[in-house]
Structure 1
């Protein structure tokens, strides 16, 4: 890694010079503590091997059945594609589309685009559409939810463990392995791939000389992290490296976040009051809400999974809504300590965002697992789609929030304003060495 290239913190907009790190080390912002970049212990070929392995495991997970259930001589082999098709046939198409996107298409897109980018960097010849692929990966990564699906598989199995003979099939183990692989590959973001391309000398880089111009602002591209000068905030301008729209700060964050939070809060009511699924058996026809599912797991003796489902489906959505409200209402609070706490809170809601999709995935899987004609059937309820929309809206609200605004020295000021070459050099020198720590 060459020194002297610039990187801006995504949470406070502070400029740093990229410095060489030891393998396994991570550079953090001196101002807010947010991770800036990492130095991987894996070489480029190692990442390629990891992605190829994940693709092979992904194929096994979606071709073979997940589990096999046997009730009264009748056998059902449940798979993810089968569950999506059954939900579609039940006219819950929005639910089927959401699950198919988050559990199949977007993870597959992540793997294919990542492999394509790694091979291009390794060949030292970037294709003309490399920037479009990286922008696609940047927007895809937060919505890849295979780990959530794996937890949903475990919950669905427990629900039928006492009613049928359950046998684990190859896809079950494949999803378990895929969860670990995708968790590791989640660190291979679009920003990190751009850094690999920078280190290989394949793309433009930012230096103090390239951005220090009289009367200009400095902005970091959200898609490729390139630091570059912009003429004026509010004027349409694109990143000259990846083509994404440039903004000093995210436009209209207050109205967008509040609109999404209010919409999610409204949908949260029917999501909890309406049934998420309908269970038909020979002796009963019952409706189940989210809390009803938690109580059922507790009665079955799976108190650990009951707690997990309760946290993921009740506590996490409420936490996200309350945390976003606190971040928006506390915008006038100033001071480095307060802003660091706000940054940690924002990181928390970023991390927990997708786990609320657990109940939606459980319902989808149960439609395939409990599909015993004449004996039992699970039909998705209207509450499941409402809950899925709550998850999507809260994630969009989190993405619309701009933590950098809280770090502005005063309302209307920009912490990355460059007025001259001298002030540019001084600003960079203030945080010239990115602090780094060894990862355990």
Structure 2
């Protein structure tokens, strides 16, 4: 493992898996993904009525109820983007193994890089457990094959997250299919930066203009452009969307004797009353604590730009990594609502419909994740020399946290 000697960020991690090992893992993940989405998660029985609940059916019912935005949003995060991640990895590994890279390989790697942070199968798995607990006293529940498949899929996708687009580019380097990740001599006084799409280290202009990457042709900047205005705009928009997400009902439960609306905190209280204290705490942390933590942490990172020492800046970098790590877990309540729509579909007895807060809460998750992606932690390290945003004098010992990636030969050394 190669780490930055300034901030400690992992630049390269050697894998024990060969190409064939990764290919076997990807094929297994694809099979398990098909099982998880084809077979029912659970079979529910109420008064001689039976429902076979699965994810595609839940998305279809949400669409039928008129919640088009919610259906598309959750379908992307729980189905299409995880599937895109698996298929992109399979396609890239097959191409590298055959020693022939297609001309659109850089575009496929960009798609993989986009899909990776938005693939939320682990959050969906936790939402399945929460939804089943909520229906434990209402219906007879028989777990289906998909619930085990989603558990296995969570483990496999977590392992597959190590096979990032940058790692695939390095596998292509080792196979001699693409140039190594350093364009020319980087020991001089020219300003260099790392392409965030393929990891290529190359010269960039000092005025901050973007230049096409010499390897994948994506636009490369010395630093992410306009981070201050972009991040603050996303933070403010997320705070605005956070208000209706907590005030408005997140779902509506209609039974033969009642018609009630529930907010996010109402769902936490209901789990607590049902005796599921552990799940109540998990839902409260994921739906209330995590969004506020992300927003407050981003505000702290944006308001403290003055250099306060190496140790403080390392703590700020760790804080940013925490914000990135917890980003997707706030989608828990949105997935729970979608799943309950399918599980409680007993016409005349009970029905669950999504409320307006579900879309608002999903929007908060998207905005906070986009704000974290727009923030550039390297600028905090730049502040130690009092350098401007557009021109900085580089030095080997002052390499930014993510500005350089070692070549395959350097990583192996």
Q: Which of 30, 49, 70 matches 1:74?
A: 49
- Report the alpha carbon displacement of residue 198 of structure 1 after superposing the two structures with TM: 1.4
The 1:46–1:32 alpha-carbon spacing in structure 2 relative to 1, beyond 3 Å, is same
Tell me, in whole angstroms, the C-alpha distance in 2 between the residues paired with 1:235 and 1:42. Answer: 38
Alignment map for 1:26-105 (pairs within 5 Å):
26-105=1-80
1 CA distance for matches of 2:299 and 2:308?
Answer: 17
TM-score normalized with structure 2 length: 0.93
Report the equivalent of 1:134: 109
1:395 partnered with 2:369: yes
Q: How far 1:416 sits from its partner (Å)? A: 10
Q: CA deviation at 1:235?
A: 2.6
Structure 1 residue 208 displacement after superposition:
7.7
Q: Give 1:427 deviation, angstroms.
A: 7.3
- Equivalent residue for 1:222? 196
1:205 corresponds to which residue? 180
Distance in 2 (alpha carbons) for counterparts of 1:346 and 1:370: 39
TM superposition score normalised by structure 1: 0.88
2:381 to 407, 432, 438: 407
Return the match for 1:175 from 150, 154, 164.
Answer: 150
Cα deviation per residue 1:407-430 (whole Å; 9 max; x = unaligned)?
Answer: 1132335899677xxx76x878xx
How far, CA to CA, are the matches of 2:344 and 2:67 in structure 1?
17
> Deviation of residue 234 (structure 1)?
3.1
Verify: 1:152 aligned to 2:137, yes or no: no
Q: Alignment partner of 1:210: what SS?
A: coil
Superposed CA offset, 1:331-353 (max 9, x none): 11332111100000000000000
CA distance in 2, matches of 1:89, 1:263: 29
Aligned pairs for 1:230-245 (under 5 A) are 230-245=204-219
Instruction: Provide the C-alpha distance between the structure 1 equivalents of 2:183 and 2:27, rounded to a whole number of angstroms.
Output: 39
Partners of 1:383 and 1:105 in 2: how far apart?
Answer: 23
Whole-angstrom distance in 1 between the partners of 2:109 and 2:182: 22
1:373 equivalent to 2:347? Answer: yes
Residues 320-378 of structure 1, C-alpha deviations (whole Å, 9 max, x = no match): 00000000011113321111000000000000000000000000000000000100000
Q: Partner of 2:220: helix, strand, or coil?
A: coil
Question: Residue 406 of structure 1: CA displacement?
Answer: 0.4
1:265 is aligned to 239
Residues 113, 165 of structure 2: 8 Å contact kept: yes
Q: Which residue in the other structure is 2:256 paired with?
A: 282
Q: Indicate if the aligned counterparts of 1:218 and 1:416 stay in contact, CA closer than 8 A.
A: no
The equivalent residue for 2:295 is: 321
CA distance in 2, matches of 1:208, 1:265: 43
Q: 1:190 aligns with which of 155, 162, 165?
A: 165
Q: Find 2:323's aligned residue among 349, 372, 389.
A: 349
> How much has 1:29 moved relative to structure 2?
1.3
Query: Could you tell me how far apart the structure 1 residues matched to 2:272 and 2:245 are?
Result: 21
> Equivalents in 1 of 2:349, 2:191: separation in Å?
67
Q: Distance in 2 between matches of 1:407 and 1:173?
A: 45
Is the CA contact 2:42–2:142 (under 8 Å) kept in the aligned structure 1?
yes
CA distance in 2: counterparts of 1:248 and 1:296, whole angstroms: 50
CA contact (8 A) 2:81 2:115 kept: yes
CA 1:84 to 1:207, structure 2 compared with 1: closer, same or farther past 3 Å?
closer
User: Secondary structure of 2:211's partner?
Assistant: coil
Residue segments in structure 1 that go unaligned for 5+ positions in a row: 1-25, 435-440
1:432 and 1:258, CA in 2 relative to 1: closer, same or farther beyond 3 A?
Answer: closer
1:373 aligned counterpart, secondary structure: coil
| CA distance in 1: counterparts of 2:78 and 2:46, whole angstroms | 28
Alpha-carbon distance change, 432 to 211 in structure 1, aligned in 2, over 3 angstroms: closer
User: How far apart in 1 are the matches of 2:329 and 2:398?
Assistant: 39
Structure 1 residue 140 displacement after superposition: 1.1
Change (3 A) 1:122 1:96: same
Aligned equivalents of 1:281, 1:432: Cα separation in 2: 58
Q: What is the Cα deviation at residue 58 of structure 1?
A: 0.4
Cα pair distance change 1:80/1:206, threshold 3 Å: closer
The secondary structure found in structure 2 opposite 1:232 is: coil
- Call closer, same or farther: CA 1:414–1:27 in 2, change over 3 Å: farther
In 1, Cα distance between equivalents of 2:325 and 2:70 = 23
Alignment of 1:9-24 (within 5 A): none
SS class of match (2:235):
helix
Match in the other structure for 2:410 = none
For residues 341 and 213 of structure 1, the distance between their equivalents in structure 2, rounded to whole angstroms, comes to: 31
